[in-house]
Amino acid sequence: EVERYAAQYAHARTALEMSPVQAVQHVVRTLLTSPHFLLRIELGPDSARSAGALNGYEVASRLSYLLWSSLPDEELFDAAEADRLATEDELQEQVDRMLADPKSAAFFQNFFGQWLGTRTLPSHNADATRFPLWNDEVKGAMLDQANAYFAEFTTGGRPWSEFLTAPHPESRLVEPLTANDPEGVRRGFLTLPAFLTLSSRADRTSPTSRAKTILEQFFCVPLVPPPNVDIPELGDAGGDEGPVENVRQALEKHRASPDCASCHDVLDPIGLSLENFDPIGAYRTAYPNGDPVDATGVYEGAAFEDISGLVPALVEGARSGACPSEQLFSYALRRRPSGDDRTRLKEIAERWGGGTIADLVKQVVTSDAFRLRAKGKAR
């Protein structure tokens, strides 16, 4: 590569009659527009390993961009040069080393931020007139708290089985939102102010949106709206009918329609269980119009009083680890699963067993899907 660019410089000086400065500019332009600079190209091995195997440098690149969102460091390059990244033991050791590096914050912030939507929080806004505690400082603190929560499951050793039940990291700026919490109500991802805010509208909560996010994002359950149905809005603050205050009552109108009931019968019990939390995640017992909040419901035949009573059923539903396995697989490979991937994903989830996200990373990066490239295809 060096010889090629040196030859280009010489060509620019002699054949193109450029000055030294112009020749350097010509070489820099060529370098910056090269596919090798703009793209991550995987051509396969120079060794005699299987035709689909990536070479050490390509595996190192996959690892570094997965865990650091940046290029490999010297130690990873050395491992690639020595062909050590061909072994599962070395890959797992590198994962431990790289996750211990502060640069790994890029991994859990980007992975969870993309999967669970927290990366969109900076662009989210709530109605500060209706919710005076809302401001940019609080919004930033919400995101910091969520990222600290994700870190506990990635580098902090906390198992995935506690993702819906673990205590929250302390945050001084978020404290005003949690000051009125009853004891024990604020635990797990679903009661993080960041999630509660992102799954709400600016002026009111949206139980449908909250439940849809939980089912589609957290459980990987696709939800398709009924065909040829004009779904009415619950209403907007300041609209002809005034602001929607009691969301449960408004949703009952949707359930009265057979076309809407098929979805709302699934979504509403989950979403309404979080109605004690307003659009910025603060605890409440009444709506702005004075109506008491009713967060009760029935899920899969079991009655509950609020989200605290629903969480055990959700924890049981998440026990297989299928969804996080699929999400990390897609994030690491930069594509959705297809074909034989389903068998691989089942094996990854079974071997992982709901341990830490670091354990799941190891299962993904030691899988054939991460270490091999389909024969005859360069990426």
- The whole-number pLDDT of residue 242 equals 46
The domain limits of the chain are: 1-39, 46-100+333-379, 121-225+246-317
Output the six-digit token pair for 339.
């074909």
> What's the chain's average pLDDT?
89
Contact 348, 321 (CB under 8 A): no
Tokens 């819906």 locate to: 164
pLDDT, position 240: 41
pLDDT at 143 over 50: yes
Torsion of CA 139, 161, 65, 340, to 10 degrees: -130
Residue-level pLDDT at 6: 94
Please report the pLDDT score of residue 375 as a whole number: 54
In this prediction, residue 215 carries a pLDDT of 95
**CA torsion, points 72, 75, 80, 83, in degrees to nearest 10?**
-160
Mean pLDDT value across residues 159-165? 96
Kindly report, residue by residue over 308-366, the tens digit of the pLDDT.
999 999 999 998 899 999 999 999 999 999 888 999 999 999 999 999 999 999 999 99
Query: Where is average pLDDT lowest: 41-45, 98-102, 167-171?
Result: 41-45
pLDDT number for residue 250:
81
* pLDDT band, very low/low/confident/very high, at 39 (cuts 50, 70, 90): low
Instruction: Mention every residue, 6+ apart, whose C-beta is less than 8 A from residue 316.
Output: none
Task: Identify which has the larger pLDDT, 175 or 244.
Answer: 175
